[in-house]
Structure 1
Amino acid sequence: MRTVYVNGEYLPETEARVSIFDRGFLMADGVYEVVCVLGGKLVDFEGHMVRLDRSLSELDMTRPSARDDLLEIHRELVTRNTLDQGLIYLQVTRGNPGDRDFNFPPKETEPTVVLFTQDMPSLMDNPKAKRGARVISVPDLRWGRRDIKTVQLLYPSMAKTMAQAAGVDDAWMVEDGHVTEGTSNNAYIIKNGRIITRALSNDILHGITRAAVLRFAREAQMEVEERSFTIEEAKDADEAFVTSASAFVTPVVELDGAAIGTGMPGPIAARLREIYIDESLKVAV
């Protein structure tokens, strides 16, 4: 049985409890991070903690623990769950004020801290990396602060369900005629050897994997252009791909029923995936 962490305790998942008055449950008033585990080690842990701090700060939430303490909790969950490949989810909410109220509770209200693992033994050998993902486009109807990694994931969940109903893998969200991002990933196209992805702003999540992949791409002398692109540009691209903590670099081969490039994973996306995994394994903690 999986061991999870709730507010200072390691518990069997069947014994884990959070109050019905918790702000995360009532108001989606919380943030989260997802750290990838490869070979029993944490990938880009520091980057995720930096983003966690930023999300908490933007919502004026209390930091739950020191980074070293959170690192120890992550490592302990890896050990207790004998996790080799998978993910660790960390969620922090504004806590339990004792009753339902739209107003933020007093500052001294203790945050709720939950961590749990997901075992994914085929993470590095995901079949989608070999065959490529197929996506549809949907309107982006999320709130305006997508740069904060909050637990309010209803619309991305709806978009993933739309994709599933359409018989494809995922959806790319579109606003003002331009792609923002995928439901749980950053989106890219490649044209004439140039990697194109939307620039950082409040419109998209500041992906930790995104930052690493773009750094590795520049180090490999690949050209990167951070700008918005349209669905039409994406259909006319030579390649496309997405990045996330769980997808690494995954090619996208079809958009709204139209093949991208040859309709097969391309060489640049494949090379970026290889570089990302190799470099991440070197520095994982």
Structure 2
Amino acid sequence: MEAQSTLQVFVNGDFVPAQQAFLHISDLAIQRGYGVFDFFKADKHKPLFLNDYLERFYNSASLMYLPVPYTKDELRQILQKLISLNNLEESGVKMILTGGYSENGFDPAAPNLIIQQQPLVLPSKEKVKKGISIITHEYLRDLPIVKSINYTTGIRLLHHMREQNAEEVLYFNSGIITEFPRCNFFIVTEDNTLVTPAHNILKGITRKNVMALAAKKYKVVERDITLQEVKQAKETFLTSTTKRILPIVKIDGEVIGTGKPGPITLELLQDLMALEQEVLAETVR
């Protein structure tokens, strides 16, 4: 935390040290948990897949009736300046748009825009090699297509996860799988078809890239997936900006497939890492 306090943060038009970045208590993010955000990875000072993340950020803001105070081009310039100021080799950048300083603690006001950058540590080779365990929980987020700042349920379930030595919690609704608090979900069926939930999810950028990469080699389907089908899958894995692709080898204490990361999962991880390097190379030119 001490090292992060020396980083610069963008708050409503100004770049300030992190320890000087504050919002007033009347902000609806504090009063009611009202706001949206997005998060992307920067490697060698270059944002990855930024256009996709900005599109989703502006879409979330629109659906929550929060006007972004900058055009996309202006925001790109702000992001690049922040990345240059902090000079982190590998990092995560979070854009937060809040409900603003509300006079009555309920009605939105002019949104506040905060952008922060932090060092990023990706999953270790050992974790990828072993795979992870997850648990499930019945829950459906409000407005799943919006990347809201409300993570109450996911945070509340952290102690349940730790009690069961699980790394993530997978949501389902009426027996149908949806998503993780911060990740998307895939299964590989016996005929090597990749299936990912189609409804009541936030459509991740890594999910989009993995689907495109997988479609070059395998059949890819978006549809409902039952909880029972998950337990019978050949392989399962999650996708996210910060985790790329992580194999899942155990769900609710039940072993999935062989109990080891599957070959298709590991192959797609290599493909995704190669794609990231291609995008970086194109950005540098």
Amino acid in the other structure paired with 1:93: T
Residue 11 of structure 1, CA deviation:
1.1
Alignment partner of 1:128 is 2:127: yes
Seen in structure 2, the aligned counterparts of structure 1 residues 104 and 175 have a Cα distance that, compared at 3 Å, is same
Between the aligned residues of both structures, percent identity stands at 27
Question: Cα gap change, 1:160/1:223 in structure 2, threshold over 3 Å: closer, same or farther?
Answer: farther
Ranges in structure 1 where 5+ consecutive residues have no aligned partner: none
Instruction: Provide the rounded CA distance (Å) in 2 between the counterparts of 1:8 and 1:104.
Output: 20
Aligned to 1:56, what secondary structure does the other structure show? helix
Question: What is the match of residue 263 of structure 1?
Answer: 259
Report the TM-score, using the length of structure 2 for normalisation.
0.91
CA contact (8 A) 2:176 2:226 kept: yes
Contact 2:151–2:181 (CA under 8 A) maintained in structure 1: no
Cross-structure match for 1:142: 141
Corresponding position of 1:66: 71
Question: Residue 239 of structure 1 contacts residue 260 of structure 1 at CA under 8 Å; is this kept in 2?
Answer: yes
What is the rounded CA distance, in whole Å, between the counterparts of 1:78 and 1:45 in structure 2?
13
Can you list the C-alpha shifts for 1:228-247, whole angstroms capped at 9, x where unaligned?
21222112111100011111
After superposing on structure 2, the runs of 4+ consecutive aligned residues of structure 1 that deviate more than 6 Å are: none
| Partner of residue 118, structure 2 | 118
One-letter amino acid of the counterpart of residue 165, structure 2: G
Q: Secondary structure at the match of 1:28?
A: coil
Question: Is it true that 1:211 corresponds to 2:208 in the alignment?
Answer: yes
CA distance in 2, matches of 1:204, 1:257: 24
Q: TM-score, normalised by structure 1?
A: 0.91
2-structure distance, mates of 1:132, 1:64: 42
| Aligned match of 1:254 | 250
Pick one of 83, 86, 106 that aligns with 1:102. Answer: 106
Give distance in 1, aligned partners of 2:231 and 2:254: 7
Gaps of 5+ in 2: 1-5
**Structure 1 residue corresponding to 2:49, chosen from 37, 44, 51:** 44
Match of 1:221 in 2: 217
- The whole-number CA distance in structure 2 between the counterparts of 1:160 and 1:141 is 17
Show the counterpart of 1:83: 88
Q: How many residues align?
A: 275
Q: Deviations over 1:210-232 (max 9, x none)?
A: 111101111x2211111121222
Structure 2 counterpart of 1:234, from 230, 237, 260? 230
C-alpha displacement at 1:141, in angstroms? 4.6
Out of 149, 152, 158, the residue aligned to residue 150 of structure 2 is 152
